[in-house]
């Protein structure tokens, strides 16, 4: 688990729902993560061009630039080890989950997000190989 001084791993949380973003950001910060947010796939891609992150939590279902679009662009230049990406989806049996894993997602969590599961998935994704 990251230290509680907010100098833990730097995360980008991407979701088009402001309530989801706010809740996840606050809870992750309390666990010591440094958290930045993006309200769209397009904004996430902009931030990834100019900033460095240790992992991304990425909503699949977003308008215009979907989470799958963002994931495909990330994997075109960054490996699963270089930049872990956890997908978040409201559909646990969705074809989107299969597609996300095929495109190189490290893992996925279903909405409503079980925070304990999310923390475990982040721990695994951030472990050095």
Tell whether 79 is covered by a domain. yes
Tell whether 4 is covered by a domain. no
**Structural domain containing residue 23:** 10-126
> Nearest-5° angle of CA 53, CA 1, CA 3?
75
pTM, two decimal places: 0.91
- What does the pLDDT read at residue 93? 67
Helix, strand, coil percentages, rounded to 5, for the chain: 40, 20, 40
Q: What percent of the chain lies above the pLDDT cut of 90?
A: 81
For residues 104 and 114, give the distance between their C-alpha atoms in angstroms, rounded to a whole number. Answer: 22
Assign residue 31 the CATH number of its domain.
3.40.50.2300
Question: Cβ-count burial of 41 within 10 angstroms (0-12 exposed, 13-18 middle, 19+ buried)?
Answer: buried
Q: What is the pLDDT of residues 80-89, one digit of tens each?
A: 999 999 999 8
Tell whether 5 is covered by a domain. no
Q: What is the pLDDT of residues 13-49, one digit of tens each?
A: 999 999 999 999 999 999 999 999 999 999 999 999 9
Higher pLDDT, 6 or 19: 19
**Which token pair is 89?**
């989806």
**Which token pair is 113?**
């997000």
Q: 82 Cβ partners below 8 Å, 6+ apart?
A: none
- What does the pLDDT read at residue 89? 86
């Amino acid at each position: 688990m990251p230290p509680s001084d907010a100098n833990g791993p730097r995360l980008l949380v991407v979701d088009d729902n402001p309530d989801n973003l706010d809740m996840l950001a606050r809870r992750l910060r309390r666990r010591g993560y440094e958290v930045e947010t993006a309200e769209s796939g397009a904004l996430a891609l902009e931030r990834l061009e100019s900033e460095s992150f240790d992992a991304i939590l990425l909503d699949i279902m977003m308008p215009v630039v979907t989470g799958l679009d963002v994931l495909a662009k990330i994997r075109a230049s960054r490996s699963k080890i270089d930049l872990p990406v956890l997908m978040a989806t409201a559909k646990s049996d969705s074809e989107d989950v299969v597609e996300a894993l095929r495109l190189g997602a490290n893992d996925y969590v279903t909405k409503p997000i079980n925070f304990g599961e999310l923390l475990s998935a982040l721990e695994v994704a951030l472990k050095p190989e």
